[in-house]
Amino acid sequence: MWTLSENKQWSDLEARFYWVKRMADVQQDSRYHAEGNVAIHTQMVLTALQNEAAFKDLSEQDQGILWAAALLHDVEKYSTTVFEADGSITSKGHARKGAQFARQLLYQDEPTPFAIREQIVGLVRHHGLPIWLFEKTDPVKVLVKASMEVNLQWLCLLAKADMLGRICDDQEEMLYRIACFEEFCRENKCWENPYRFKSDAAQMYFMQHDDAYLDYIPFDEPVTEVVLMSGLPGAGKDTYIKTHYADWPIVSLDSIRKERGISPTDKAGNGRVIQEAKEQARVYLRKQQSFVWNATNTTSQMRTQLIDLFSIYKAKVSIVYIEVPYQHLHVQNKNRSAIVPAGILNKLAHKLEVPAQWEAHQVVYRIR
């Protein structure tokens, strides 16, 4: 990955990255960005960030993380900008898509250490949160989740630079919102560290119940355990299972496909595979027998649906996320008994959402 001391001149960045150059093509609503296009705004944000005393106090590595997040925070306005009928310009969803872009860039094109990459991704994903948190239905839950994904002190610093790096009439109000966000973080013990629950069960109860109190400790104990594997095809999930869970029953989507002669590209067939896998899981859950669910589970939506099912049966859920360097994926995929077509593998990599710590009782990362 590039560092703060390298390529920090905009012309250097334009020469190296096509997506930097295209920022100049993206217009913004003049009510909120009278300074001009996304390229101008991003340059102003980078300057504002580097002028902040709190930024100067950070280590060189931490400065690099924040600087990269500032560079990337609006990168997907290119694909989300819409000229509305009333004359306004919007870019709904640009933070979520920007996070996807950042992960793809820092995993495939500019290989970056996992922890650094995921902090950058989290900062891009949540860069608007300090402004909009109090408009959420459950601000506390949103805040706690964010604290388990990203450093909220850095997030505030990025949000402040984002606001100072523009020309708008409501700048003072927005900076006040950011200050309120900081106080809310402190009140809810999320400022210096992620919120720490009393137990794994307390964390899961809070995440799964709309009316849960932050400090509530449930009385019920899990009656069984499910290990939910997550990772791209070829990452090494099968090898991990053989090493750590050799004597556990396994619900494997690949095995079901192979038995039924169903291709990974057969959408209807894969729907039947998932239903059969769920029924196998229910058999183990009813018997209170621990097992491993072995599939890619590369998006939060996939994992949530399964974890909700397992939770009905009072199971403790551990997610094990496996990752290898991108260049190794295709090689290892070719050595699998169930090879995934290269096109599907690339599509899965593009949509990859690394499991967050709040998704399960326990989340384990195995990065090679």
Residues 283-335 pLDDT 10s:
999 999 999 999 999 999 999 999 999 999 999 999 999 999 998 888 887 77
Within 233-355, where are the H helices? 237-244, 253-260, 267-286, 300-312, 326-334, 342-351
Rounded to the nearest 5°, which phi and psi values hold at 338? -115, 90
3-state helix, strand and coil shares in percent for the chain, rounded to the nearest 5: 55, 10, 35
The closest alpha carbon to 72, from 25, 132, 129, 117, belongs to 117
The residue written with tokens 């939506």 in the block is: 301
Confidence of residue 10 (pLDDT cuts 50, 70, 90): confident
- pLDDT of residue 5 exceeding 90, the answer is no
Note the pLDDT of residue 1. 58
CATH topology of domain 224-367: Rossmann fold (3.40.50)
One-letter amino acid for residue 166 of the chain:
R
Structural domain boundaries of the chain? 10-187, 224-367
Instruction: Give just the sign of the alpha carbon dihedral 223, 148, 101, 325.
Output: negative
Contact 201, 183 (CB under 8 A): no
What tens digit of pLDDT does each residue of 171-216 get? 999 999 999 999 999 999 999 999 999 999 999 999 999 989 999 9
CATH topology of domain 10-187: Hypothetical protein af1432 (1.10.3210)
Note the pLDDT of residue 327. 86
One-letter amino acid for residue 67 of the chain:
W
First-to-last alpha carbon distance for the chain, in angstroms, is 17
